[in-house]
Structure 1
Amino acid sequence: MKHIVTVQEAVTAFAPDLEPTAAELDAIEQEMPVILADVELLDAQILTLDRTPNELDERRIRRARRKALAARVTLANTAAVKPGVGA
């Protein structure tokens, strides 16, 4: 019989070295509007999972989709101007 052992100690032994760098944090900060817009879209879609969407729900989803798309376009345009951002 083989013994199954965990590798928890090996994984957490290097945890301090796995912190995000300043560049990674800056990239996350640049992408935050896209992340928040996607969360808003998901929230709007989740509201309609257990019921038939009414007119207000459909408007909310369309508005959230437009906002998410606009945030992505803004991020893409920013990335085109500043290489290395949003990659």
Structure 2
Amino acid sequence: MNDIVTVQEAVTAFADFIEPTDAELDAIETEMPVILADVDLLDAYITTLDRTPSELDARRLRRARRRALAARVELTRRSATDLGVGA
């Protein structure tokens, strides 16, 4: 018979190394508008999965796509400015 043991000690032994660094947290904060726009777009898609999209659903999808695209364009523009490209 094999014993079942926990690996809590092995997991918590490296807990300090698992935390994100300040640079990673800054990158997440920078990309948050894109992440939120993508979540809104996915939500719009999910609401239309089990039915034929109505005109209201189609408008919601179009708005969500435009917001996601605008967020990506803004992130790209800001990244290019930070790198000094096109300045």
Per the shorter chain, which TM-score range? 0.7 to 0.9
Deviation at 1:7, TM superposition (A): 5.9
Deviation at 1:6, TM superposition (A): 7.6
1:67 maps onto 2:67 in alignment: yes
Aligned residue in 2 for 1:13: 13
Aligned residue in 1 for 2:34: 34
Q: Which amino acid in the other structure matches residue 63 of structure 2?
A: R
Unaligned runs of 5+ in 1: none
> Where has structure 1 moved over 2 Å in runs of 4 or more?
5-13
Q: Secondary structure at the match of 2:50?
A: coil
Report the Cα distance in structure 2 between the residues aligned to 1:9 and 1:46, rounded to whole angstroms.
Answer: 40
TM-score w.r.t. length of structure 1: 0.81
Q: Secondary structure at the match of 2:53?
A: coil
Report the Cα distance in structure 1 between the residues aligned to 2:42 and 2:29, rounded to whole angstroms.
Answer: 20
Q: CA RMSD in A?
A: 1.8
What are the Cα deviations for residues 3-56 of structure 1, in whole angstroms up to 9, with x where unaligned?
Answer: xx8866434421221111111111100000000000000010000001000000
Aligned residue in 2 for 1:81: 81
Unaligned runs of 5+ in 2: none
Q: Secondary structure at the match of 2:49?
A: coil
Tell me the matched-pair count: 83
Deviation at 1:69, TM superposition (A): 0.4
Identity of aligned residues (%): 75
Report the Cα distance in structure 2 between the residues aligned to 1:6 and 1:77, rounded to whole angstroms.
Answer: 48
